[in-house]
Structure 1
Amino acid sequence: MALFLVLPVLAFPELFFGHQTLWRSDITLIHYPYHIMVADEWLAGRVPLWNPYQHIGIPLLAEGQVGPLYPLGAIFLSGLSPSLELSLFIVLHLTLAALFTFALARTLGLATAPATLAGLTFGMGGFLMAQIGNLNIMTGAVWLPLVLCGAVLAAQRRSLPLAVLGGVPLALQAFTAQPQIVFYTLLILMGYAAFRAVADRHLRPALFVGVLIVAGLLLSAPQLLPTVELQQHSLRSAERGFNFLTHNSWPPAMALNLLLPSAFGNNVIGFKGGDPFEEDFIYAGFIPLLLVGFAWGQRQRRDVLFFGLLLVGALMLALGRYTPLYQLVIQHLPGFGLFRIPSRWLMAVNLALAVLAGCGLQTLLERGPSRRGLAIVASVLGLLGIGLVAVWLARGPLRMWVDTDWGGLERKLALAFLERGFTIQPVYETERLLMRHLAPLTAPAILLAFNLWVALALLGAYAGRRLSARHFAALALAAVVLDLVVAGGTTVNPIRPDDWWQQLSGGARYVLDHLEGGRVWPLGMGSEAAAVRNLGQFFPSAYRVRSASGHGSPLMLARQDAFLHTAHPVQQVRLLAVRYILTEGRMGADAESTFPPTFADDLSVVYENRDPLPRAYAVHSVVLSADAEEALGHLTDLDIDPRRTVVIEASADTAPPPGVAAGSDDVALVRDEPDEVVVRVRLAADGYLVLLDSWYPGWEASVDGAPTPIYRAYSIARAVHVPAGEHTVRFAYRPLSFRLGVALAALAVVAIIAACSLW
């Protein structure tokens, strides 16, 4: 336990002793700002269901990027700095991954030292280390070994209470993980159930695994049902096909990382692969990889065979388009077409390697290395050493040959390895607290040479009986610790001073000071630095400022995307209730003539819409449209004036006609919370109240307490019919998907309590 607690800190010492922060990719674009908003919502006494600060409103819980219902998210309520909370959240999950894998290995019958090796190999392994930037991928993968531990126990003991309790880790995974990770976990569980049915020649163990799956899905229904609902309304609903399914398949050349971590670079020194580094990297440690070959000695343990099959199956699935499997079979199976990036199957590859490495160490400790086994290992290590020396000696001619005769991704990868594989990068010598003392080992070839020497020395001493089994295990674990700390942590994850989060541009500060009740539209904020400086991505949520843009996720509402691709640019600014446009550079003369600049500095320019629409206003003219396409067709030019006319999707039979305006109207927001908006309206004649917030299922409206339908306005917003006179209109977000999910989860909790009482 102490080892698993300390090691993540050793891998990331700068976060706790150097005032640094992790920042790359989704950590900046999503997790840092979004966790601030979610924590604020909980502290305000609200369940974080809706985010009004992105894309004129998005379903926060349904999107699930930061796991609003995830219990371990309580770290973000601590009152510490958000940067430190984020660091603690990350290292806690690395510790849990190691502990859960240790528990799985012990459940499989491994002794303490082999189980510790398994925990290190997964908890500190390359998959989790690389996926820190995709935090909800990493935190979801952490729960996989505990889910499997529950499945193994339920099948072994054929215990209903254990099966029901085993659903708890699956539910916790669903509360934090990207749905793809949950889907993969369910497939692995179904594979394990099928394996046990065949191995036991009986369906009963498989049925207990099925109970675990059902319990987990019921417990996680408050998250899963809203997420499924969002899938139907997001861009993801339209993304299908073979190219989507196999996007970011794992290139076979990336297997070299299993021997030479960061062989082609990483996110600190630059990565030359075709895909993002975090999607392609896996490293299990050299000695664990070597020990996998000895796992055959534990074949009498029935479940060891399953992890061997899991290794092969997950590896084939990770390869994606590089094998015919997806073309012939996978693309036709239900569920797979919802997700891209097959390389995320490396999660299961890393876990299988960890368990099999533990089994291999168990074999060596029980039986010692056989002469034949030792000879094979020595031969393999010798060949690796000779090959490494040969490449080093011939790297000049090899570089010329590759540069001249190779092409495509293979050329890029080979040149990257020849350039960086034998080089100590200055960043590790000057900007890392621990790695500066181990900088030579950060060169992939030097680390492999060191690992070869250590492995030969340990195995030779153990075979020659100069080391006892206990001392061999201790030294092997120490070598693995060093190997994984050097290959992971801040070696592959870039860091910056933690005051980076507060570096707002002058334009962003101007907007925050002057925006009042309107919206800002940050444009071109795709990079991490731009997002931090200029309220890009999810940063409006952290500052609680309403934005017309946000993170370009596949879960973006499809109607919003269609509106942005169809409506006239001026209509977009009007109907998104934009007051300020925030950019990093100047726009064209036409744009500036319509929206003049009001502030500029070296990092930002602010343009002002001097006559913005309010978020809530009344109209007495309506254009009826049959569907979204027809509604958007009215917005391709400026013929429709939204101050006077609303375009709604309804028929004359369902939408009451407005009255003729006989005087002035008065509309005022009296309550404005993320999940509730209350508007006081005084109309001279019947009309429509327009609220320029996203239309989405789950929003309900009432006029003076009486329910009233919400019409889709301009395809993206909301409108309700209001009679003449003074009225109070209330919009409340009460999604049926969440309420039904809570009911199902409550049912599961009752079942768990009942099962435990009978145990």
Structure 2
Amino acid sequence: MARTHVDSDQQYEASRPARWWVVELTAVALVLLAGAPLLLGRSYYLDDAQHLFLPLAASMQRAIADGEPLWWSPDLFAGYCTVGAAQNGWFYPVNQLLLRLCPLVLAFRLCYLIHLWLLARGVLGFSLTLGGSLKSAAVAAAVATLGGAVAAHTIHLNILVAMGWTGPILWLAALALRPGPQPLSVMLLGGAIGLSLLQGQPQYVWFAGIAVGCLALTARDADVSLWTAALRLLLAAAMGVALAAAQVLPVVEYASRYPRPHPGGSFSFLTAGSMQPRDWLRLLQPDLFGTPLRGTFPDGAYLYWETRGFFGTAFLVLGLAGALRGRRTSATRLGTALAVVGLFLMAGRTNPVYRLLIHVPLFSTFRVPGRFGWLLQLGVALLAGQCVQALEQGDSRSRRGWVSAVVVGVACLSTFAVAAGSGRLAVFLSSPGTWLMVVGLAAASSALLLGESRPRRAALNVTLAVGVLELVVSWHSFARTVPGEVLTRQPAAAATILASDNRRLLALELPRTLQTPRSVAERLEENVGTLWGLSYFGGQEPLQPTTSLGALQQLADAHAAGQRELFDFLCDRFSIRWIATTAALDHSSFRLAQTSAGRRLYENTDARPLAYAVPMSFVREGGVWTTSDSLASILRVEVLERHRHLWRLRASFDQPVAVVLSQSLYPGWTVTVDGQSAPLMGAESLFMSVALPPGQHVIEFRFDNVAIYLGKSLSLIAFCGWLVALAFVTVRRRHT
């Protein structure tokens, strides 16, 4: 049945449109509540923020300064397709603009602030479009922007960017589902989807699609049929995919070649990060079972933030009351649908139906069901806003929500019982969040139960203040910051490596920590060194190349088994010049180069060059292969030119040889010998090589990936067509 877009009990507020400057100030205020430290020169640093996204941004900025596109990076995994791995967002216009105009850390901070504002402003506009008052829209925007899912993903910049685009996507979808032709809204919706995809986090674009689907089913206008709604939304989605083809096509190619779940894949892998039964109580107090920031959370740090759904007790009570209202508005229907879908899917492995869902596309592609908490957060945001509006209008039906106060009150008592049973009661009682939880419950209950208009309004205002305070305190208890210069200060060990012509590093057993970095002298773990131009044989990426994983596993197994000769040979084979570790390595070819803060930097003096040649006797089954018991005679080649996507070499030998380039073999790499195309071979199960006859030759390895060029061409064509159509629609709209 078609739904009424703006319900009769909302007509009063809908007829009084909020002044634009009040809406803008509200969005800015919400951003300041979350991001004020970023305006003071501080930066998020927890986990992937400093281990992945800041180093990737540094690599992008260096490529921009060099005038080269960052389609291939030699800095991780012995080289990988950065566009295909879908983390750096090379084609995302905001990244390009910020990294061209701003210093690295300032660009990093501004990216957070821009997308927090985008989320807040989008949810405000969306709620107002559904007929909400300014106060109800502000409540919805506060919960959506300051809630636990967004705070937790300050460690994942690309996820936060995708969350930021969710608000505008919902807003534009609501406009596209109004009666009559809506070409402009559909086109703008397609543009928003395209921009969201260009950042490179398709999972949360999918979540936005689920939310838009719920909108079409529950809150579209009565005069818009379901078929019309579906056609408009599918057209916008197709437009967005076409605009983002430069990012989408390389991701599809990359994912098809490297390990990723498939329909019916590993249940344990696909459901990692599910909500466990006790985790539901963490919706009331995220640190109930400890926090990884102090090393007290027992189940692994990633599970903490992937399941960190928190909306504040006050807003949770109001949201549940909004869902229990006797008469539903379009916003409450949508909020209830989002909350139910989020709750159902967050359970993951504890939900029997999820065993069937892993056979469904997209569910079989993305893991961590706890991330569906983002839909729950959006649902609670809309429901809490609608409850506030109903209370302000004196709707007696909202006061039936006293049931929600009882339900949440029992849950709050359970948190005290669980804390006492686990021996954490003293810590639990010392947390400000615990007492804000109690105050929020009391204030929200008063607002729901008081009958007199003036006391109820006063209690409601107190409830809103306490609810916002709950969110802000929770946000800053997790989203820690440090001065920006701490993250970019170069350690002495990095300078030692940078002085070498081979900067490939193996970070061996270096612990990652969530604590504030007390010193940067030892920060070589994971990807951090790419900030200064180091190159890692391994790295931190959600989508790691299969061949690189195999090589890393060989190294790890040899080291764990104490097989010195094999470990030394593998480091030689994979051109690993530097090893950073906390352990003492008594290997004949390893020279201790530096020691700092208990961490040692060794130089492998026998490491092969990044480009070299071997006799043809080591070519087997179409590729170069050497073993520890038949060491190759490594022959030097001259490097004439070296860039990210191009290696030009000169080789002169009186015997046939195979020239090896220690970059990962991937579609798009081609090789020419003296300007003539030559067949490309593999090498050492990871690299690439080419056979040469005797004599002097110039060899050129070049990365020209078809998926990237085709995607760029399609995006350019789609963008030009989108601009022309947008101009036509705009001009026609003005004339009519």
TM-score, length-scaled by structure 1: 0.82
Which residue among 337, 341, 344 is the counterpart of 1:309? 337
Deviation at 1:162, TM superposition (A): 2.4
The aligned residue for residue 119 of structure 1 is 141
Q: 1:177 to 1:617 in 2, by over 3 A?
A: closer
The aligned residue for residue 523 of structure 1 is 508
Deviation at 1:669, TM superposition (A): 1.1
The aligned residue for residue 423 of structure 1 is 430
Does residue 263 (structure 1) correspond to residue 303 (structure 2)? The answer is: no
Q: 1:387 to 1:245 in 2, by over 3 A?
A: closer
Q: 1:612 to 1:384 in 2, by over 3 A?
A: closer
Residue by residue over 1:159-187, the C-alpha shift from the partner in whole angstroms, topping out at 9 and shown as x without a partner, is: 23422321111122212243322333344
Q: Is the 8 A contact 2:488 2:531 kept in 1?
A: no
Query: How far apart, CA to CA, are the structure 1 residues paired with 2:160 and 2:383?
Result: 21
Deviation at 1:129, TM superposition (A): 0.7
SS at match of 1:606: strand
Which residue among 429, 434, 440 is the counterpart of 1:451? 440
SS at match of 1:287: helix
Deviation at 1:302, TM superposition (A): 4.3
Q: Is the 8 A contact 2:282 2:309 kept in 1?
A: yes
In structure 1, give the amino acid aligned to 2:358. Answer: Q
Does residue 241 (structure 1) correspond to residue 266 (structure 2)? The answer is: yes
Which residue among 130, 149, 152 is the counterpart of 2:174? 152
Residue by residue over 1:296-322, the C-alpha shift from the partner in whole angstroms, topping out at 9 and shown as x without a partner, is: 659564464233222211210111111
Query: How far apart, CA to CA, are the structure 1 residues paired with 2:568 and 2:198?
Result: 40
The aligned residue for residue 581 of structure 1 is 579
SS at match of 1:156: coil
Q: Is the 8 A contact 1:29 1:531 kept in 2?
A: no
The alignment yields a C-alpha RMSD, in angstroms, of: 3.2
Does residue 321 (structure 1) correspond to residue 349 (structure 2)? The answer is: yes
Which residue among 230, 235, 238 is the counterpart of 1:214? 238
Q: 1:9 to 1:343 in 2, by over 3 A?
A: same
Quick check: 98-107 or 255-264, which moved more? Answer: 255-264
In structure 2, give the amino acid aligned to 1:722. Answer: L
Does residue 746 (structure 1) correspond to residue 730 (structure 2)? The answer is: no
TM-score, length-scaled by structure 2: 0.85
The aligned residue for residue 473 of structure 2 is 486
Query: How far apart, CA to CA, are the structure 2 residues paired with 1:31 and 1:667?
Result: 35
SS at match of 2:131: coil
Which residue among 666, 675, 681 is the counterpart of 1:705? 675
Quick check: 4-13 or 733-742, which moved more? Answer: 4-13
Deviation at 1:468, TM superposition (A): 9.2
Deviation at 1:720, TM superposition (A): 1.8
Q: Is the 8 A contact 1:35 1:76 kept in 2?
A: no
Residue by residue over 1:691-746, the C-alpha shift from the partner in whole angstroms, topping out at 9 and shown as x without a partner, is: 11111111122223332232111121111233444333222222111111112212
Q: 1:190 to 1:683 in 2, by over 3 A?
A: farther
The aligned residue for residue 38 of structure 1 is 60
SS at match of 2:69: coil
- Percentage of matched positions with identical amino acids: 24
Q: 1:452 to 1:5 in 2, by over 3 A?
A: same
Deviation at 1:55, TM superposition (A): 1.9
The aligned residue for residue 501 of structure 1 is 487
Residue by residue over 1:3-32, the C-alpha shift from the partner in whole angstroms, topping out at 9 and shown as x without a partner, is: 322333334544444x64321110121012
In structure 1, give the amino acid aligned to 2:154. Answer: I
Which residue among 238, 252, 256 is the counterpart of 1:232? 256
SS at match of 2:637: strand
What pairs up with 1:533-572 in 2 under 5 angstroms?
533-551=522-540, 553-566=541-554, 568-572=566-570
Deviation at 1:75, TM superposition (A): 6.2
Which residue among 239, 260, 279 is the counterpart of 1:254? 279
The aligned residue for residue 611 of structure 1 is 606
What pairs up with 1:166-181 in 2 under 5 angstroms?
166-181=189-204
SS at match of 1:421: helix
Query: How far apart, CA to CA, are the structure 2 residues paired with 1:643 and 1:187?
Result: 58
What pairs up with 1:590-629 in 2 under 5 angstroms?
592-626=587-621
Deviation at 1:611, TM superposition (A): 3.1
Q: 1:473 to 1:153 in 2, by over 3 A?
A: farther
The aligned residue for residue 10 of structure 2 is none
SS at match of 2:177: helix
Q: Is the 8 A contact 1:53 1:540 kept in 2?
A: no
Query: How far apart, CA to CA, are the structure 2 residues paired with 1:682 and 1:245?
Result: 52
Q: Is the 8 A contact 1:519 1:577 kept in 2?
A: yes
SS at match of 1:561: helix
Query: How far apart, CA to CA, are the structure 2 residues paired with 1:244 and 1:604?
Result: 33
Residue by residue over 1:494-524, the C-alpha shift from the partner in whole angstroms, topping out at 9 and shown as x without a partner, is: 33444432565554443334x2335332322
Deviation at 1:332, TM superposition (A): 2.0
Number of positions where the alignment pairs a residue of Structure 1 with one of Structure 2: 686
Q: 1:756 to 1:214 in 2, by over 3 A?
A: same
Q: Is the 8 A contact 1:161 1:752 kept in 2?
A: no
Deviation at 1:249, TM superposition (A): 0.5
The aligned residue for residue 755 of structure 1 is 725
In structure 2, give the amino acid aligned to 1:571. Answer: F
SS at match of 1:284: coil
Q: Is the 8 A contact 1:564 1:572 kept in 2?
A: no
Which residue among 343, 353, 370 is the counterpart of 2:380? 353
Q: 1:34 to 1:508 in 2, by over 3 A?
A: same
Structure 2: unaligned runs, 5 residues or longer: 1-23, 556-565, 730-736
The aligned residue for residue 71 of structure 1 is 93
Q: 1:694 to 1:491 in 2, by over 3 A?
A: same
Query: How far apart, CA to CA, are the structure 2 residues paired with 1:161 and 1:387?
Result: 46
The aligned residue for residue 163 of structure 2 is 141
Does residue 280 (structure 1) correspond to residue 268 (structure 2)? The answer is: no
